Amino acid sequence: MTDSPGARKKRYDAMNLAVVSLQVAGWALLISLLHRDLFFPLKAAVLLVFCLMMQGVFSMIHEAIHKLAHSNGAVNYGIGVVAALIFGTSFTLFEVNHEGHHVRNRTRPELVDFILPGESRAKKTLVYYFGIVGGIWLGGFIGSILLPFIPFRFRNWLSWNREDNTFTTAVTQFKQEDWRRLRLELLFGVFFWTVAIRLFDWHWQVLLTAYLCFAFSWSSLQWVYHIGTPIHVVEGAYNLRLPTWIRWLFLNFNYNLTHHRDPLRPWQELAAASNPQETQPLWYRYLRLFLWPQPLPEDVGAIRKTYF
């Protein structure tokens, strides 16, 4: 007998609380280690683990967005807010944008890898590379700080180029309650980071280095699941293979196609629900990511996924 969605969520309540607690502890420990005078290769290894673990922090935000982090709504929101704080953004900002992603995936606003008729090749290429080298994370960081200062009634002023940009499209989908939550999350974030920096005696130079590296690693992995996939809102995604220890740090986010097919499936079940023959290695997709955008084929039906 299969569990109801509610029972499936509740089964993992304690685990998700433990995971986000470990992520916060790991975040504090790894940043503190980066402040130490360590042998350079060891410090580089710490930075690499930090970047990989923070991918899992995003996965926990993602679980909370889909109401899967905890069966209690308030606790689920709290998990999302805490994970977003150490990630460097607003939970509500990501929530509204990601809900739109499931509607807009591989539609015109999210066809970042193809140049559509009438689009400037130079502009599309510039925006594409800016996004993957860190611009996607930077947009979430800056947006979480600036948007709360803009009156809600003026939010549509930010929605330029809606037809071609999924992020500016998302701005129009905020409700007034969402805008209030943005402000509260910013206030809590300022308090949280002020306490953390003073408590651990962190320096801005180390934080800047750590988050610049993370901004690149996370941003460059955001589109890796979708580039070159069919023009289909659900099937326009890949499941990608990873070494087991990295997959656990990612909280199975590499099973992106399985998630798009069943957005209410918890991260703990994604691996078992995926067809191991229906994958590509993540390293291959990652290298392919750095190819510049190409003109959209006249026959979009010719865009197919391949597995190996």
Domain hosting 161: range is: 5-302
**pLDDT at 161 (0 to 100):** 60
Domain assignment present for 307: no
The pTM of this model reads 0.94
Rounded mean pLDDT of 68-76? 98
Q: How many C-beta neighbours within 10 Å does residue 143 have?
A: 20
Report helix, strand or coil for 231: coil
Q: Evaluate if residue 51 carries a pLDDT over 80.
A: yes
Residue 117 has a CB neighbour count (10 Å cut-off) of: 7
**Residue 242 in domain:** yes
pLDDT band at 8 (very low <50, low <70, confident <90, very high): low
Task: Give φ, ψ of 210 to 5 degrees.
Answer: -60, -45
Residue 187 lies in a domain: yes
The pLDDT of residue 165: 79
Q: What is the per-residue pLDDT for 170?
A: 86
- Burial label for 107, CB within 10 Å (0-12, 13-18, 19+), is middle
The answer to whether residue 4 scores a pLDDT higher than 70 is no
The domain tally of the chain equals 1
Q: Tell me if residue 241 falls in helix, strand or coil.
A: strand
Q: What is the pLDDT of residues 221-253, one digit of tens each?
A: 999 999 999 999 999 999 999 999 999 999 999
Q: What are φ and ψ of residue 89, in 5° steps?
A: -155, -170
Instruction: Output the average pLDDT for the chain.
Output: 94
Rounded Cα gap, residues 178 and 93, in angstroms: 8
66 domain-assigned: yes
Q: Examine residue 308 and state whether it is found in any structural domain, yes or no.
A: no
pLDDT at position 3: 62
- Supply angle C-alpha 31, 147, 180, rounded to 5: 100
Kindly list the distances between the CA atom of residue 114 and the CA atoms of 215, 216, 279, 298, in Å, as whole numbers in the listed order.
Answer: 23, 21, 22, 12
Give domain status of residue 33, yes or no: yes
| Separation between Cα atoms, residue 92 and residue 296, nearest integer Å | 33
